[in-house]
Amino acid sequence: MRTSATIGAGMAAVALLAASCTAGTTSQAPQPAPAPGEQVAITVASQFTDRELEILNRVLDGFRAEHPGVTIESRGNQDDDKITQAIRGGNPPDVAISAETVNLGQFCSSGAWQDLGPYLARDRVDLEQIPRAVRDYTQYQGKRCAMPLLADVYGLYYNAGLFARAGVTAPPRTTSELTELAKRLTEWNPDGSIKVAGFLPVLGSQANHPWNWAPQWGARWTDGQGRSTLGSDPAWQEMFRWQKELVDFYGWDRLVQFTAGLGQQYSADNAFQRGRIAMAIDGEYRTGFIEHQAPGLDYGTAPFPVSDARPELYGTGLTTGTIVGVPRGADEAGAAWELVKYLTTDTGALVELANGLNNVPTTRAALHDPRLERSPQYQTFLDMFDSQALVPSPASANGSAYMKTTEDFGVKWQSGQVADLGAALRDLDAQIDAAKSLGGR
């Protein structure tokens, strides 16, 4: 009896201790900016390394020049795991930069990243200068706890040399045109294996993911209540059926053999850069990779084709990007906000970052700034960004869980393991919603 009482007391003590092991509270009132001449030290955590970190640091120098009293320690190679642990341990950076917009739901709902609303209101920051889709992926359920720091836009890359050889003069605008062209551009080896794929329809390979494709069909992830709509939105079925037609054209076994022999997505061996894929979906950053890794490649870019049933969508595409915020418990929240504001609204800073990182700047002023370096291929993505027709993937309280569940399903579907697409998608909804309910937010 005494032993069990002791164990019970111990458990209770541990539970209390465990429950108390969380970081401090969120401060709602905006902290003042440092006074002129006031000495303040802030830390910035980002996932950037090497060349990219150098570019960020150069831009931070611009902030230092404007705020000589502020000392900045820039820590690279800090992914979301590390930043989260630092916040949890009560020793967060003052400014956090994340490349995973889907995690924003968690950052906002848990209060791990501070609500920037009061700062924006105090400093009268005009959010209209940022495209709607980008504004969407930097807030969660009406709470703005991040600002956008450059964006990615996804579109079509096509091999102009292969197009010319096949007598093709313009990129496809609809998915049926894409299918027809993919078949025309595909080249086979004598043994029947794929030599050049017109378009690689394998989900999970290269940049082929449900979230990158979905905007082209107008497919919606969630309804107004945040419930999964893969089973109820017919656009998803249309997308998966379009994919399966192309998979069947190539043959699943041949596709597996072909993709297994392709180079890594972000290496110089990238299949599009090596001419092994005639058309591919990818982000604007690919133009930078091609410039450095395959400068001789003759290629063009265009918006990715859209569903035949929704031609008005042409010009749309997925947008995602890097986000920046002020973590809960930041020592110098006022100075941190000044830096966030500088990084996300100062045209010079955005242009310098965009030129260095080959990403799209996130304000209209920076987008139209003459200092922004632009090739014809890169211009496609700038135009798409300016058109306001972009779509983000929704942030979720359990991060990218819904993305993996959907991609797992796509892998089963494309390899012929799913008999009833509609029923399977409805089952997928139930799985995604059940997983979301684990967090209880």
Partner 1 sequence: MAPPGRSPFGRRLRVLAFMAPWIVGFTAFFAYPLLATGYFSFTSYDLLGEPAWVGLRNYAYLFAGDPVVRIAAANTVWLVVVLTVLRVVFALGVASVIARLRRGVGLVRTLCYLPALAPPVAATLAFVFLFNPGTGPVNGFLRVLGVDGPLWFNDPAWAKPALTLLTLWGCGELMIILLAALLDVPAELHEAAALDGAGAWRRFRHITIPSIAPVLLFGVVNSVIFSLQYFTQAVVAGAVASGQAEVVGSSKVLGFPDNSTLTFPAWLYQQGFHYYNMGYASAMAVLLFAFSLGFTIWLIRRMRIGVEEAA
Q: Which of residues 269-288 bind partner 1 (CB under 8 A)?
A: none
Q: Calculate the dihedral angle through the C-alpha atoms of 367, 372, 376, 377, rounding to the nearest 10 degrees.
A: -80
Closest CA to 265 of 301, 291, 289, 295: 289
Of the residues 22, 57, 129, 229, which one makes contact with partner 1 according to CB under 8 A: 22
Residues 73-92 vs partner 1: string with x where CB under 8 A? ------xxx--x--xx----
Instruction: Output 27 or 400, the one with its CB closest to partner 1.
Output: 400
Under rule CB under 8 A, residue 111 binds partner 1: yes
Instruction: Output 91 or 264, the one with its CB closest to partner 1.
Output: 264
Q: Calculate the dihedral angle through the C-alpha atoms of 28, 33, 35, 41, rounding to the nearest 10 degrees.
A: 100
Residue 98 CA to residue 389 CA, distance in Å, equals 24
Q: What angle do CA 111, 112, 115 make, to 5 degrees?
A: 55
3-state SS track over 138-160 = CEECCEECCEEEEEEEEEEEEEH
The DSSP output letter for 222 is B
Instruction: Output 247 or 306, the one with its CB closest to partner 1.
Output: 247
Q: Which of residues 369-428 bind partner 1 (CB under 8 A)?
A: 397-401, 403-405, 407-408, 411-412, 415
Residue 245 CA to residue 252 CA, distance in Å, equals 11
Under rule CB under 8 A, residue 206 binds partner 1: yes
Of the residues 40, 102, 133, 185, which one makes contact with partner 1 according to CB under 8 A: 102
First to last CA, the chain: 39
Q: Classify residue 124 as left (phi > 0), alpha (psi -120 to 50) or beta.
A: left
Smallest distance from the beta carbon of 103 to partner 1, in angstroms? 7
Give the count of residues interacting with partner 1 (CB under 8 A): 61
Smallest distance from the beta carbon of 2 to partner 1, in angstroms? 19
- Residue the block writes with tokens 């211009």: 379
Of the residues 260, 292, 296, 376, which one makes contact with partner 1 according to CB under 8 A: 260
Instruction: Output 103 or 287, the one with its CB closest to partner 1.
Output: 103
Of the residues 11, 164, 268, 423, which one makes contact with partner 1 according to CB under 8 A: 11
Indicate the SS3 state at residue 377. Answer: helix
Smallest distance from the beta carbon of 40 to partner 1, in angstroms? 26
389 within 8 A of 197, measured Cβ to Cβ = no
Indicate the SS3 state at residue 174. Answer: strand
Smallest distance from the beta carbon of 363 to partner 1, in angstroms? 26
Smallest distance from the beta carbon of 419 to partner 1, in angstroms? 17
- Residue the block writes with tokens 């697409």: 421
Give the residues lining the site for partner 1 (CB under 8 A). Answer: 10-11, 14-15, 17-19, 22-23, 47, 79-81, 84, 87-88, 99-100, 102-103, 106-107, 109-112, 204-206, 209, 256-257, 259-266, 328, 397-401, 403-405, 407-408, 411-412, 415, 431, 434-435, 438-441
